[in-house]
Structures are given as C-alpha cells and as structure tokens.
C-alpha cells in the first residue's frame, strides 16, 4: 500500500511529512490530496478491515491505526486473520478465486507463525463452499470414509 501511495505522490500526506499549510489555496490542495490518500487506503481494504478506520477523517490517522493492527505477529493479528479466514466463502464467486483467496490468507497466517494442519485447511475450504456443492460434498465424504475403512481392514 505504501508503494501505491508513493506512486500517486500521496505518501508525504499520509506519513505526516507534508502538513497542512496555512495559506488557503495551498490548504485546499493539501485537503484534496489528503482525501485522495484516505480513499486509496480505504479502497485497498476489505469490509472487515474498513471497520477499524471508518471514523477516520485524515489519512495519517487511518494509516496509524492500520499500522498498529498489522504490526508484528501478536495474538490480535492472528485472531483477525483467523476471523477473516473463517468468514471466507465462495458464494457467488468462482472456485479459482475462492481457493486463491483462502491460500493467501493461510499464507499470511503462516507468516505470523500459525501453521494449520491439512485437515483444518480442508475443513475451512469445504465449509466455505455454497449449498450447490452439497451433493458433491456428501459423495466425497462417503467415499473418503469407505476408503479409510478399507485401509484399516486391509482391503
């Protein structure tokens, strides 16, 4: 995000390096730049993430909140990522987009030191599938049970 703001020449307003000038015309230009920066930040966030900055009127304030939220590998960060992962669903979307989003969120969790077991990953993915996959899921679970029973019996 910082790179996007830098590319759009908005980073100085966000970082606080460029403060609002006293002169009216310059102040109006700065305010326009600040609105663009705040919009760029907000548009890059998910709905859940926007909740944290909804009351911010200045891009620096929004950035500071997000920086605290995302810094480090603390419990709050892990909890937030898990919440986002558990809320993911494929409703109305494409399978490839859904799977990519889930993998990215799992990768973020891994980065902060939380590795999920394969069975948990699979359960999360299956849980996010829409109702229209119900028949397929039932057949898949039945086949999986039969396969594991056969393996235990030595067939």
Q: Is the pLDDT score of 155 beyond 60?
A: no
Q: Are 148 and 81 in a shared domain?
A: yes
Q: Is the pLDDT score of 29 beyond 90?
A: yes
Q: Are 79 and 149 in a shared domain?
A: yes
Q: Is 46 helix (H, G, I), strand (E, B) or coil?
A: coil
Q: Are 24 and 46 in a shared domain?
A: yes
Dihedral of CA atoms 25, 30, 36, 39 in degrees, nearest 10, equals: -120
Q: Is the pLDDT score of 92 beyond 90?
A: no
Q: Are 49 and 89 in a shared domain?
A: no
Give pTM, 2 decimals. 0.52
Per-residue confidence (pLDDT) for residue 147, from 0 to 100: 59
Count of structural domains within the chain: 2
Per-residue confidence (pLDDT) for residue 58, from 0 to 100: 94
Q: Is the pLDDT score of 121 beyond 60?
A: yes
Q: Are 79 and 139 in a shared domain?
A: yes
Q: Is the pLDDT score of 32 beyond 80?
A: yes
> What is the secondary structure of 23-34 as a DSSP string?
SHHHHHHHHHHH
Domain housing 13: 2-70
Q: Are 141 and 82 in a shared domain?
A: yes
Q: Are 6 and 36 in a shared domain?
A: yes
Q: Are 36 and 102 in a shared domain?
A: no
Q: Are 107 and 79 in a shared domain?
A: yes
Q: What is the mean pLDDT of the chain?
A: 86
Mean pLDDT (whole number) for 119-140 = 87
Are 87 and 48 in contact, with CB atoms under 8 Å apart?
yes
Q: Are 28 and 6 in a shared domain?
A: yes
Condensed to tens digits (0 to 9), the pLDDT of residues 36-89 reads 999 999 999 888 889 999 999 999 999 999 888 777 667 888 888 899 999 999
Are 37 and 14 in contact, with CB atoms under 8 Å apart?
yes
Q: Are 39 and 88 in a shared domain?
A: no
**CA nearest neighbour of 81 among 56, 58, 54, 115:** 115
């Amino acid at each position: 995000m910082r790179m996007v703001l830098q590319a759009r020449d908005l980073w100085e307003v966000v970082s606080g390096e460029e403060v609002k000038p006293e002169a009216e015309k310059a102040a109006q230009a700065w305010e326009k730049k600040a609105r663009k920066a705040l919009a760029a930040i907000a548009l890059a966030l998910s709905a859940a993430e926007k909740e944290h900055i909804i009351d911010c009127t200045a891009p620096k304030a929004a950035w500071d909140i997000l920086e605290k939220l995302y810094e480090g590998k603390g419990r709050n960060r892990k909890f937030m990522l898990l919440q986002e992962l558990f809320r993911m669903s494929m409703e109305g979307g494409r399978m490839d987009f859904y799977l990519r989003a889930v993998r990215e969120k799992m990768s973020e969790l891994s980065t902060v030191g939380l590795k999920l077991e394969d069975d948990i990953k699979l359960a999360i993915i299956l849980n996010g599938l829409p109702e229209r996959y119900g028949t397929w899921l039932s057949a898949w679970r039945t086949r999986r049970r039969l396969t594991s029973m056969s393996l235990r019996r030595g067939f």
